[in-house]
Amino acid sequence: MQARENSIILRDGRRLNYAEYGDPDGQPVFLIHGIPGSRLTWAAMQNSPFRPGLRLIAPDRPGYGSSDLFRRGQGITDYPEDIAQLADELGIDSFAIFGPSGGGPYVLACAWKIPDRLTSVGVFASVSPYVPEATVGLSPTVRRLYRFAARFPRLIRVQMALMSLLVKWFPALYVRMIRSEFSEVDLEVYSRLGLAQRMQPDRAETYRRWGRGVAYDVTIPGNWPIPLGEIRTKVHIWQGEQDVAVAPAAGRFFADRIKDAELTMIPDAGHMWIFEHLGEMLDVLVPVSGETAGM
């Protein structure tokens, strides 16, 4: 579906770019993309823009697409203020929020910092702290990336800049590289849905700013700043049991540490499960009746 795109200038002078899908008068849901990802991720989902009555607001996170990276000294714990400013600009008092994968920590930061603005909160396969109890079963490649990024953030910026060149000039090679890291269940979904082609515009936006947003985000697991025990709003957690990009242990880790968490483990599902089932999760966060979920 064609998105409606716009941007705002935040109070600190940074640009925040976003897209909207669905019903402009519907129930507002902020969608926080993963890694890689951008505001365009959601257009590649099956049945986008999902059921009627939803206003889907999809910002480019800092350093992705046309959104400016955090300023020096800023980081993920400042992101809730970005979302609050965007909601204010759009005239939205309260809203649901959802994020998969690398968007999960940003959603959890909002659940911690601006719970009074949130009607419901959901994450799918959220990236977790890089600790043993959350990473059992994690892909060795991802494990090495998180360990390296936490120790050598400057070098990871160089690596992601090179990745941006690969995406731009050698997209077929990029696809072969990422396919080699998929589980069998994810490879089946990726191939059947033709995601290599469908996600190409989204990947270009991911690395539009030389991958600086990605480079920052992969340092988060090794420098986790969000006190999960201080989150007081209910968090819906979905996690595939066949995921290797985010280990199933991560879902259980969050459920054990967030006071009011509802964990749904999905058998035979991997990281790509979201591309066919996002609508089901949105139905939990914003039920058809319009009542808020689990607050």
Tens digits of residue pLDDT in 266-291: 999 999 999 999 999 999 999 986 44
Report which of 215, 222, 217, 220 is spatially closest to residue 131, judged by C-alpha positions. Answer: 222
Rounded to the nearest 5 degrees, what angle is found at the Cα of 229, between the Cα atoms of 224 and 234?
110
Mean pLDDT, residues 117-142 taken together? 97
* Sequence-separated (6 or more) residues with CB below 8 Å from residue 111: 97, 118, 121, 231, 233, 235
Q: Check residue 138 and give its pLDDT.
A: 95
Its pTM stands at 0.95
Q: What is the pLDDT of residues 148-183, one digit of tens each?
A: 999 999 999 999 999 999 999 999 999 999 998 899
As separate numbers, helices (DSSP H) first and strands (DSSP E) second, the chain gives 12, 8
Question: Taking the CA atoms of the chain, what radius of gyration do you get in angstroms?
Answer: 17
According to DSSP, residue 166 is labeled H
Q: Check residue 291 and give its pLDDT.
A: 47
Please count the residues of the chain.
295
Q: What is the pLDDT of residues 74-126, one digit of tens each?
A: 999 999 999 999 999 999 999 999 999 999 999 999 999 999 999 999 999 99
Evaluate if residue 293 carries a pLDDT over 60: no
- For residue 125, being part of any structural domain is answered with yes
- For residue 187, being part of any structural domain is answered with no
- For residue 80, being part of any structural domain is answered with yes
50 pLDDT band (50/70/90 cuts)?
confident
- For residue 179, being part of any structural domain is answered with no
Percent pLDDT > 90 in the chain is: 92
- For residue 72, being part of any structural domain is answered with yes
List the beta bridge partners of residue 30. 57, 97
Evaluate if residue 24 carries a pLDDT over 70: yes
- For residue 147, being part of any structural domain is answered with no
- For residue 127, being part of any structural domain is answered with yes
Q: Check residue 180 and give its pLDDT.
A: 87
- For residue 161, being part of any structural domain is answered with no
Q: Check residue 1 and give its pLDDT.
A: 56
Q: Token pair of 90, please?
A: 């759009």
The residue segments making up the domain with residue 19 are: 4-138+225-285
Where is 115: in which H helix or E strand? none
Domain containing 281 — which CATH number? Answer: 3.40.50.1820
Tally the domains of the chain: 1
- In the predicted model, what is the mean pLDDT of the chain? 94
DSSP string, 19-59: EEEE-TTSEEEEE---SS--TTGGGGSTTTT-STTEEEEEE
Could you give the CA distance from residue 274 to residue 276 in angstroms, rounded to a whole number? 5
